[in-house]
Amino acid sequence: MMNKIKTLVVAFLLMSFASFAQTEGQPVKIGYTNVEYILLQLPESRQIESELKTTSTQLENQLKNKYAEYEAKLKAYEQGAAAMDKVVRDDKEKELMNLNNSIQEFQRNAQASLQQKEKSLVDPVIAKIDKAIKDVAKENNYTYVFSNQALLAGPEEGDISPLVLRKLGVDPAKATAAPAAAQTPAKPATTAPVKTSTAKKKN
């Protein structure tokens, strides 16, 4: 699940890291952090993962039921097609085509629904992290705060992640390891093979 919300985190990174007010003569102070890492340390991340998993499982089960219905009717059609007159056969084929289209539409809608739910759960947490970063930057006189994913190198003391975690009520000493720089995107939760054609008509 956390691979999926990485897209939302990246969008935040592109918008959020900006400069803060600087008094004339004050030296430039640069910090960096990792929003994805901070997100993973928050209890909200586990709740988000749990809710998305529940929703994904529900959609997956609905899709499996639809596909099972399609398979059963397709099998019945294939076994009895030779004995059907043309009107009945055409009606069965139309029913199968409609079921097939319904499954494909359900897949599209389910994926969109899951993405929307994901966004609605993640956005408030991202906003909370954003505020904590800006508060820490202001309180510690940082002129700029960047994502460490954009840095090739930097001093350890420039990492404000522990300060942000404390601001969010998390003990940095209990934090888990930072996420890898690159991860393989998760596959859509609601996918199943769908046959797109019915048996050939027999005259």
Amino acid, res. 146: F
Q: Does residue 71 carry a pLDDT above 90?
A: yes
Report d(CA 188, CA 107) in Å as an integer: 9
**Domain annotation covers residue 43:** yes
Amino acid, res. 46: R
Closest of 49, 55, 60 to residue 1, by C-alpha: 49
Residues 117-161: tens digit of each pLDDT: 999 999 999 999 999 999 999 999 888 888 877 665 666 778 899
Are residues 130 and 11 in contact, defined by beta-carbon separation less than 8 angstroms? no
Radius of gyration (C-alpha) of the chain in whole angstroms: 26
More confident residue, 167 or 195: 167
**Domain annotation covers residue 179:** no
**Domain annotation covers residue 183:** no
Report d(CA 142, CA 28) in Å as an integer: 7
Phi and psi at 193, nearest 5°, equal -65, 140
**Domain annotation covers residue 171:** no
**Domain annotation covers residue 96:** yes
Residue 27, burial from CB neighbour count under 10 angstroms (0-12, 13-18, 19+):
exposed
Q: Does residue 56 carry a pLDDT above 70?
A: yes
Are residues 62 and 103 in contact, defined by beta-carbon separation less than 8 angstroms? no
**Domain annotation covers residue 18:** yes
Indicate yes or no: pTM above 0.85: no
Are residues 44 and 125 in contact, defined by beta-carbon separation less than 8 angstroms? yes
The domain total for the chain is 1
Closest of 79, 91, 60 to residue 189, by C-alpha: 60
**Domain annotation covers residue 113:** yes
Residue 148's pLDDT is: 73
Report d(CA 71, CA 69) in Å as an integer: 6
Residues 19-32: tens digit of each pLDDT: 454 445 567 888 98
The percent of residues in the chain predicted with pLDDT above 90, rounded, is 54
Query: Which domain range does residue 84 map to?
Result: 2-165
Give the three-state DSSP class for 19: strand
Q: Does residue 193 carry a pLDDT above 70?
A: no
**Domain annotation covers residue 199:** no
Of the ranges 127-131, 163-167, 187-191, which one carries the lowest mean pLDDT score? 187-191
